[in-house]
Amino acid sequence: MNQKFTLEFYLNGRSTKAEILPTMTLLDFLREELGIKSPKYGCGWGSCGACTVLVDGNPILSCLTFAISVDGKHVTTLEGLGNSQNLHLIQKAFLESFASQCGFCTPAIILVTKALLDKKPQPTEQDIIDSLDGNLCRCTGYLSIISAIKKSSELLLKQGEKNGRSW
């Protein structure tokens, strides 16, 4: 298993190149090799959604994806949205709605929110519930998360109006 692959992809908008073992998962690669800690290892078999990242704008589970599969693609993690000095509006909405307690599932849910609102800027409550069907949160009971996603939609739409463009 010493065969190494050259992986070239875009991580949070930046071109990234690395030599990797072919069976390394995207989650291990992001966390161990690149120090991207927002995707978490939860269940390891697709049940909890804590390892969710966006690939070309769509949520996927990084613990079930080999890193070589993202060759040539755009990968977005929470680190690509905002940081503690400059929060993304979705992060602000989650903060203001108290939509996070232990925080283990939160990065994944914020990314799912980003993917949902990119596709549907004004989702219905059912759209929101459907979008969360792969993400477990054992703290909040989901109601505050649903409120946060609604608030995110409002904030992003307002920002779009203010800027005279869609966000």
Partner 1 sequence: MNIFIPKSVQETLEILNKYCSECIILGGGTLTVPMISELNPRAVILLDKIPLSYIKQIESKKIEIGSTTKISSIMGHDNLGALNIAAKSISGWAIRNMATVGGNILAGFPWGDLATLLTVLDAELLVESVNGERVLDLGKLYGDEEKRPKLQSNELIKSVSFLSPDSNTYFIKVERFKGTKRGILTIATRLIIDKEGYITAARIAFGSAFYHPLRDKIVEEFLKGKMLSADIIEKALEKISVSRLFLKDSLASEQYRSKLAKIYLRRILESYMIQISRRVT
- Which residues are near partner 1 by CB under 8 A? 1, 3, 5, 22-23, 25, 44-46, 49, 52, 58-61, 63-66, 68-69, 112, 115, 130-131, 133-135
**Tokens (6 digits) for 151:** 């608030």
The 10 Å Cβ neighbour count of residue 105 is: 25
The distance of closest approach from Cβ of residue 132 to partner 1 in the complex, given in angstroms and rounded to an integer, is 8
The distance of closest approach from Cβ of residue 144 to partner 1 in the complex, given in angstroms and rounded to an integer, is 17
> Is the CB of 91 or the CB of 135 nearer to partner 1?
135
Which residue in 88, 101, 90 sits closest to 143, CA to CA? 101
> Is the CB of 12 or the CB of 69 nearer to partner 1?
69
**DSSP element (H, E) containing 123:** none
Beta strands in 12-129 (DSSP E): 14-20, 52-55, 58-61, 74-76
> Is the CB of 48 or the CB of 155 nearer to partner 1?
48
Report whether 107 contacts 39 (CB < 8 A): yes
The distance of closest approach from Cβ of residue 149 to partner 1 in the complex, given in angstroms and rounded to an integer, is 13
The identity of residue 92, as a single letter, is K
The distance of closest approach from Cβ of residue 98 to partner 1 in the complex, given in angstroms and rounded to an integer, is 22
Report whether 54 contacts 69 (CB < 8 A): no
> Is the CB of 52 or the CB of 153 nearer to partner 1?
52
